[in-house]
Structures are given as structure tokens and as C-alpha cells.
Amino acid sequence: MKNSKLFLLLILLSACANPNTSSNIEDEDFEFQSVGSIERLDPDLNIFLPEDAKIEVIASGFEWSEGPLWLEDQNALIFSDVPTNKIWKWTEKDSLSLFLEPSGYLGTETNKKEPGSNGLALNASGQLIICQHGERRVARMNTSLSDPKPDFIALASTYEGKKFNSPNDLVFNKSGQLFFNDPPYGLDPWNTKELDFQGVYRLDPDGSLNLLLDTLSRPNGIGLSPDESTLYIAQSDPEKARYYAFDLGENGDILGGNILLDATVLIGSENPGLPDGLAVHSSGTLFASGPGGILVISPEGKHLGTIKTGQGTANCAFDSDENYLYMTADAFLMRIKMK
């Protein structure tokens, strides 16, 4: 995988922005480098992806890109580079620029593997909410999106007096309840793991914290169905690489659940990656990172096809009109045009 990443970096240098630069794309005929392929397993995939759909690499040079979030008022995408403790911003007009540093760790230790931010979301007031690996908490950026600064207010950092592992991904419902997960990926060998499970939590608007699940080995990506009656969770366990669907009650409690799709059989050197972040289309269809790239999964759990990026792919997000799906894939930021 590392050799293939190096090769891809070399061929893309002339076509993609690099984190150390910022360019302006003004040429109407400009084309990004296209990579990968589309694996079509079911005709229903054609509802979402045109026959000539291309995977475009629009930026490169990151350590591990994650947490894409579309900012409608800025017509921009922001996303985390977890190992470098930064959040980047990309726009069609201005390409790449640094949005926030530091993003997830405010301390002085220099030997942290994944110190930065991970999942990003906006609350009802349009404030940026961040899963901060290094600080082991969920926090709110205390400045506006137009003037981002590393000034944070902790929203949740402990459960029953014990520090979280490293909150990873998050999603709000319309009532302002925040669902998030807490795998151990942001911990270093010298960190103390205080909880003996990897939790899925709900933080209510009044500040109360509720543990919803403590039985998943590696809860990761998280999302809600359009009617908010189903909570989707991806599990990045190579022995149980699964996507789960949990029924929610009106108060946000989990009533029951089942395995939506088991992708363990897909894991292999030809399909880099594990279930990670996901985005739910307005139709209810899941676009979920996993073995090979982004798996497209119907609400009934049918695997319609895969957007094969050729890289371990961490997460994805739509723009406001679902014209594009943006994908964070290892060292790259990619996108694909929707139908």
C-alpha cells in the first residue's frame, strides 16, 4: 500500500494541490487527475453514479485525511489531517488552505501518533464541533467559521469520571442530540486507557451524557437515516468488519439492532481499508468507507457497488445539494460527481 501511495503521489504532483501550497483554479478547462474505478454490483448504483463517473484527486500530501465536512455558507469543504494536528479547507475557487492548527491536541508531547481532530460536525447554531483525538474529548470551537482559532470549549471528556479513549466520529439529529463513538485509535502507549470498553454515546442538549453501547469492539463511522429512526455504525475490526443498523426511540435510546452488512470477506490486499466513516444520502442509501474504497449500501443492506479509490479510505461527505461526494483517502482528498 505504501509503495502504491508513493507512486500515485508522484504522478499526481503536477495535477493536485499540496498542503504546503495554495493555488487558484481559474482555467475552465482544468481537469483533475482521475484514479480508481467503479465496481457496479447492482443496477441501482446507476441511480447515483453516472456511467462516466470519475474519481478525481483534488488535493494530496496528507498523512491521514479524515472527517470531511461541507460548509454551505463558504461553498467549501474542511477536513482533518489527524497525525499533523491540522484542519484543511478546500474550495473550487481557491483550492487548499490551512483552516485550523492545532485542531485536536493542545499539549507539548511530540511523540503522539494521532493527535489531531477527527470527525467534524456543525451544531444548530453553525458552530464547529470536533472529535479531538489528542485531548480525548468532544469540543466546540469557540470562534466563528470565518475566523477559526484554536480556542475550544469541552462538551464531553469523561464518562463516570473516567477519560474517553479518543472520540472519533459524530452526528447530530434535528433535536440537537449528539451521537458519537469512542474507539482507542488516538491513544499512545504512554496514555492510560481508563475505560475498559469502546463506547457509543449520546450527548443531550442539556449536557447529560448517555452510554448507548459498550459491546462493539471498534465503533467508528456513525450516521443517521433521513427520518432519524436508525443509527448506523461502522465497525473497523478486521475480524468483524461490519456495518450495523440500530433502531432508535423518540428519546434517542437504542431499542434494538442488527448487522446491516458484513464486509469481512472483502478484506484483502486488493481492497485496502476497513469500515470507517460514512455518509447517508437523502434517499437513505449509505456511502460507507470500507474495503476497497466507498461501499454503496441500500437501506436494506444490499451492497450496490464500490467506489474503488485504490487507497485506504477514511471517510466521505456530500455537498449541500449532493452534487459531489468528497472522500478522504489516506494522503488524498478525492471527489466523485453524483447523478
pLDDT number for residue 22: 43
Residue 83: which residues within 8 A CB-CB, separation 6 or more? Answer: 63, 64, 113, 114, 115, 116
Q: Which residue did the predictor score with more confidence, 302 or 12?
A: 302
In a domain, 91, yes or no: yes
In a domain, 142, yes or no: yes
Q: How many domains does the chain have?
A: 1
- Give per-residue pLDDT as tens, 65-119: 999 999 999 999 999 999 999 999 999 999 999 999 999 999 999 999 999 999 9
CB 157 within 8 A of CB 165: no
* Position 12 pLDDT exceeds 90: no
In a domain, 303, yes or no: no
Q: How confident is the model at residue 10 (pLDDT cuts 50, 70, 90)?
A: very low
Query: Which CA distances in Å does 277 have to 103, 207, 274, 280?
Result: 19, 25, 10, 10
- Give per-residue pLDDT as tens, 180-236: 999 999 999 989 999 999 999 999 999 999 999 999 999 999 999 999 999 999 999
In a domain, 36, yes or no: no
Distance CA 263, CA 313 (A): 14
Percentage of the chain with pLDDT > 70? 91
In a domain, 242, yes or no: yes
Q: What CATH number does residue 228 fall under?
A: 2.120.10.30
Percentage of the chain with pLDDT > 90? 90
Q: Give mean pLDDT, residues 43-60.
A: 97
Q: Give mean pLDDT, residues 255-279.
A: 97
Q: Give mean pLDDT, residues 43-67.
A: 97
User: Read out DSSP for 33-94?
Assistant: EEE-EEEE-SGGGGGTS-TT--EEEEEE--SSEEEEEEEGGGTEEEEEEGGGTEEEEEETTT
In a domain, 324, yes or no: no
* Position 40 pLDDT exceeds 70: yes
Show the domain range for 181: 2-9+60-273
In a domain, 82, yes or no: yes
Q: What is the average pLDDT score of the chain?
A: 93
Q: How confident is the model at residue 27 (pLDDT cuts 50, 70, 90)?
A: low
In a domain, 18, yes or no: no
pLDDT number for residue 29: 61
Cell triple for residue 116?
489531531
Cell triple for residue 34?
482521475
